[in-house]
Amino acid sequence: MKVISLTEYKLMLPMLELVIFALGILLIDLIIPRDWKWLNAVGAFVGLFFAAVCVWQIQATLPGGAVGFSGALLVDHFAVFFWYLFLAAAGITVLMSERYLDLEDEHSGEYYALLLLSVVGMMCMAAGIDVVLIFIGLELMAISTYVLVGFLRRERRSNEAAIKYFLLGAFSSGIFAYGLSIFYGLAGSTNLQEIHRSILAQNPRHPVIVIALLTTMTGLFFKIAAVPFHQWAPDAYEGAPTSISGFMSVAVKAAAWAMLLRILIFALFPLRSVYVPIVVFVAIATMTLANFAALSQTNTKRLLAYSSIAHVGYMLLAFVAMGTSEPGSPAFSDGFKGILIYLLVYTFMNLGAFAVITSLRQRQVIGDELEDMAGLYHRAPVEAVLMLLFLLSLAGIPPAAGFLGKYYIFLSLVESRHYGLAALGVIYSLLGLYYYLKIANAMLIRESKETKPLFVSIGMRCAVGVTALATIVIGIYPEPFIQGVSRSLPTWAKPTAPTLRQ
């Protein structure tokens, strides 16, 4: 019998550590008194920090990538990149949550425990190269998020959002699992490398393969909220606690993208002639519908939900560029870098925007309508200016970081000769500027009903500050981040022969 070695456990040390912290928070929450509930937030933050240190230690001893657990777990630079991203997003979310939960009177340890457990699920999704591990990670993430979305038990909208998200999510997971099971039947293995090898030998237009591909893609597109599987996103984001809306729009989405790249690029790349036309259609539909729907929103959370769907559309454009060019060519690597950098940048700018919206929640104000933004500049000048930075970054205006992501995406499109798609993407980005500036207009120009200054807690100040700093730094000095992203590329450039160290 094969015994699992200790080095393999070292690979999943960050996950083990997060699970221990999550369980610890659950237990400690039972004994601490009400006034000390902020200790839970501290515990969660410390856990995330330790996990980040563990990841850093793994990364330092990681030449090309290491596999463990009978080839189910692959820790390469790609996985490490996403692990850092999830941990950063969760850390900022914890900073945002402390006072918000206090105001909502739902301050309990389960929130932080579920947050940490969903990060564990995401880590499995990013590092798994076995569909069973990927699927279990997906479910761990999804079930934790279903509960988090419905965490405001006394709020009708929160319950409604959780039920909608749960029903649609469970259904799409079922379809996704169905597709994966057909691939298992075709390959005789659940390992993505084996699936890749057996797909290479077969006709990509065989009906069984096409059905498997379509069902798998349905699941993947649902998880990244691409049109026509996007309808859960605005409802879920609107009803969820604002901090969780922010977390879902960045971390959950990034995890779904990691899974999508692992499956469609790593394993199913030989089928690209079949799936690229579908992705082109989905990308155009996503950008069109999301941008036009966002124009008429009056709820800021809903508006940002549609904007996050639109951003998925831009990233899908980069995916098209990758799918239509050869691995190793500039268009392929620029498309890949584009998606990863976009996810990184998007994490900070979108979480920043959600942090500002979260800080609008006060004792008597829910604060998620566009009206509540009015006159923010007079009530909280620093937050208003930073919000403007996040909005401009989301719209893709240099020197904010959002420009960098868009630059790589359009570069890869031009390199792969998709001039039409590139033009369409630019036009829709301009359209996006309109609804971002609508928020800015309310903030800076309109008069406020309230005049007294907005109280912003220390944790929230840190969250807004860190995200703003990251948005500016990545925008002005992107070199280290681009290099970091490029390092995750080499094992991917030749999907047929991944360099794995046994």
How far, in Å, CA of 331 to CA of 339, rounded?
12
Which CB sits closer to another protein, 26 or 344?
26
Minimum CB distance to another protein smaller for 205 or for 501: 205
3 makes contact with another protein (CB under 8 A): yes
* Residue 23 in the binding site for another protein (CB under 8 A): yes
| Span interacting with another protein, options 25-33, 71-79, 190-198, 392-400, rule CB under 8 A | 25-33
Minimum distance from residue 30 beta carbon to another protein (Å):
5
Using the rule CB under 8 A, give the single segment among 21-29, 33-41, 159-167, 283-291 that binds another protein. 21-29
Residue 4 in the binding site for another protein (CB under 8 A): yes
Q: Stretches 24-32, 50-58, 289-297, 421-429: which one binds another protein (CB under 8 A)?
A: 24-32
Place of tokens 């500049």: 377
Least gap, CB of 23 to another protein (angstroms): 5
Residue among 26 and 142 whose Cβ is closer to another protein: 26
Evaluate the omega torsion of the peptide bond into residue 399 and state whether it is cis, within 30 degrees of 0.
yes
Helix (H, G, I), strand (E, B) or coil at 225: coil
Q: How many helices (H) and strands (E) does the chain have?
A: 22, 2
Q: Which stretch binds another protein (CB under 8 A): 26-34, 249-257, 401-409, 438-446?
A: 26-34
Pairwise CA distance, residues 290 & 93, whole Å: 25
- Tell me how far, at minimum, the Cβ of 110 lies from another protein, in Å: 9
Q: Which string of x and - marks every residue 28-67 that binds another protein (by CB under 8 A)? A: --x-------------------------------------
Cα separation, 182 vs 219, whole angstroms: 14
Asked if 255 contacts 295 with a C-beta cutoff of 8 angstroms, the reply is: no
483: CB partners within 8 A, 6+ apart = none
Q: How far is the CB of 8 from another protein (least distance, A)?
A: 12
CA–CA gap between residue 470 and residue 444 (Å, rounded): 23
Q: Which range binds another protein by CB under 8 A, 1-9, 61-69, 192-200, 302-310?
A: 1-9
**What's the DSSP call for residue 371?**
G
Considering only 13, 19, 147, 462, the residue that binds another protein (CB under 8 A) is 19
Q: Which of 15, 26, 259, 305 binds another protein (CB under 8 A)?
A: 26
Judging by DSSP bridges, how do beta strands 73-75 and 66-68 pair with one another? antiparallel
427: contact with another protein by CB under 8 A: no
CB nearer to another protein: pick between 27 and 170 = 27
Nearest CB to another protein, comparing residues 14 and 402: 14
Give the separation between CA 14 and CA 25, rounded to whole angstroms: 16
* Calpha distance 465→122 (Å, rounded): 25
Size of residue set near another protein by CB under 8 A? 8
Indicate the residue among 23 and 200 with the shorter CB distance to another protein.
23
Contact 77, 485 (CB under 8 A): no
Give the contact letters, 151-170, x = binds to another protein (CB under 8 A), - = no.
Answer: --------------------
Q: Does 6 bind another protein (CB under 8 A)?
A: no
How close are the terminal C-alpha atoms of the chain, in Å? 18
Residue 211 interacts with another protein (CB under 8 A): yes or no:
no
Instruction: Assign 3-class secondary structure to 174-207.
Output: HHHHHHHHHHHHHHCCCEHHHHHHHHHCCCCCCH
1 scored as a contact of another protein (CB under 8 A):
yes
Q: Applying CB under 8 A, which part among 20-28, 124-132, 347-355, 410-418 lies near another protein?
A: 20-28
Question: Could you say whether residue 201 binds another protein (CB under 8 A)?
Answer: no
Q: How far is the CB of 146 from another protein (least distance, A)?
A: 14
Distance CA 312, CA 303 (A): 14
Which of 107/379 has CB closer to another protein?
A: 107
Strand partners, 294: none
Cα–Cα distance measured from residue 115 to residue 97, given in angstroms and rounded to the nearest whole number: 11
Residue closer to another protein (CB basis): 26 or 192: 26
Least CB distance to another protein at residue 301 (A)? 30
Candidate list 11, 15, 17, 27; residue touching another protein; CB under 8 A: 27
> What residue has token string 């301009």?
430
Residue 39: exposed, middle, or buried by beta-carbon count in 10 A (0-12, 13-18, 19+)?
A: middle
Smallest distance, another protein to C-beta of residue 36, A: 16
Q: Token pair of 432, please?
A: 């996006």
Gyration radius from the chain CA atoms: 22
Integer CA distances (angstroms), 338 to 120, 333, 404, 417, in order: 25, 8, 8, 16
**Structure tokens of 66?**
């290491």
Closer to another protein by Cβ: residue 29 or 383: 29
* Residues engaged in binding another protein (CB under 8 A): 1, 3-4, 19, 23, 26-27, 30
